[in-house]
Amino acid sequence: MRYAARALVLALLLCGSAVAADKVTKLPVHFAKGASSATLKGNFSGYDSVQYTIGARAGQTMTVSITGSSNANFNVFAPGHVPGQSEAMGSGFVGSPWSGKLPANGTYTVQVFQMRASARRGEAVPYTIKIGVAGGASAAAPAGGNFAAARTACLKAVAAEVGVAQSKLSIGNVGKGQSGIAVTVMVPGSRGPAPWDCLADERGRVKNVMYAGSDGE
């Protein structure tokens, strides 16, 4: 009887964990005939996210802009790179679009998410995102939203904190919040990459570094 009760409790806990898992919605992007961009609306909350996939060619220019909730951020990933496991090639948020020349043929991913502080509060994020791809030699160089100084400073700060060479670290999510530029740095470990949160300003001055994984990792 006692064994059965324990089994029931374990089953309930496992079910609860499954329900609580973060939701990732994946949506392909298709342009209307003759168009070079698409505008899409969405809504998510908490730690959920939306991933838009779109095929493009090397040398083309992708432009991404987002409006709506001030908590809406986005990352752009090159073909073969996975959100949460790879470094984004570009980032942006409301009021800061991104544009960049694409390095390779393949499927690109635009991830829409919110930063950890507002995600913890379970805030809803309604947004409208515009994704465009244009060809030609006049492709623009990456514009705002890369936060190169903050990325570099956070890699250095986390490397010093954990005692791992910078070359072994990778950058996950990057976004701008009310307190500054939030950068997630992935540190290799025996159970897979472990996330560290770093907060810096746009000049690369680090404000805080802290481990963002669970105690069991």
10 is a domain residue: no
Based on the fold, state whether residues 126 and 26 are members of the same structural domain. yes
DSSP state letters, 163-174: T--GGG-EEEEE
Give the end of a domain, one of 89, 106, 134. 134
Neighbouring C-beta atoms of residue 195, cutoff 10 Å: 18
Q: How many domains does the chain have?
A: 2
Same domain, residue pair 74 and 163 = no
- Asked if residue 128 is part of any domain, the answer here is yes
The CATH number of whichever domain residue 106 belongs to comes to: 2.60.120.380
The whole domain housing 168 covers 148-211
For 32-41, the pLDDT digits (tens) are: 888 889 999 9
Looking at the structure, tell me whether residues 171 and 128 fall in a common domain: no
85 and 62 within one domain: yes
**What is the C-alpha to C-alpha distance for residues 134 and 187, in angstroms, rounded to an integer?**
36
Residues 155 and 122 in one domain: no
Percent of the chain at pLDDT > 70 equals 83
Q: Are residues 113 and 168 in the same domain?
A: no
Q: What number is the average pLDDT over the span 65-87?
A: 92
pLDDT 10s digits, 152-192: 999 999 999 999 998 888 887 777 776 788 888 888 887 77
Among 85, 109, 134, give the residue marking a domain's end.
134
Residue 142: per-residue pLDDT: 37
3 within a domain of the structure (yes/no):
no
Q: Do residues 27 and 40 lie in contact, with contact meaning Cβ atoms separated by under 8 Å?
A: yes
Q: Which of 182, 45, 63, 195 is nearest to 130 (CA)?
A: 63
Q: By C-alpha distance, which of 75, 58, 78, 53 is closest to 66?
A: 75
**Is 128 in the same domain as 176?**
no
Whole-Å CA distances, 188 to 99, 146, 192, 211: 30, 23, 6, 13
- By mean pLDDT, which of 20-24, 123-127, 208-212 is the weakest? 20-24
Q: Please check whether residues 30 and 86 belong to one and the same domain.
A: yes
154 lies in some domain: yes
Provide the CATH number for the domain around residue 173: 3.10.450
Q: pLDDT band at 212, cuts 50/70/90?
A: confident
Residues 50 and 115 grouped into a single domain: yes
State whether 98 and 172 are in the same domain. Answer: no
Query: What whole-number distance in Å separates Cα of residue 174 and Cα of residue 88?
Result: 8
pTM: 0.61
